[in-house]
Structure 1
Amino acid sequence: MKRFLTDESGMGVVEVILIIVVLIGLVIIFQTQIKTVVNNIFKTITSKTGQVK
């Protein structure tokens, strides 16, 4: 039982889940800013495609 309580092999999974939750939260908070940046990038790409020779 003591070995079970001191086993830390599952700590990596908890840390990964917390990181994913934080990233999802940031995406939700900055959703409109991210959409604006992505749209501007795609507008620039599509406007510059005619200039490629």
Structure 2
Amino acid sequence: MAQPDPNAPDVFTRREINLIVATPTQRRNELNMAEYWLWSGPRFAELMAMS
């Protein structure tokens, strides 16, 4: 049996993304940024350059 690659990314499932996006919050800007990041996948530095 093959062992999982410790360097492989541990990505969110669609269910987890939907739970994150559906979380009630007053911080709508941060939630919008997180939703964009989760669905489109830019690197962190690219995301910060857009903000």
TM over 0.5: no
Structure number with higher helix proportion: 1
TM-score (normalizing by structure 1)? 0.30
TM-score (normalizing by structure 2)? 0.31
Structure with the greater relative contact order (CA < 8 A, sep ≥ 6): 1 or 2?
A: 2
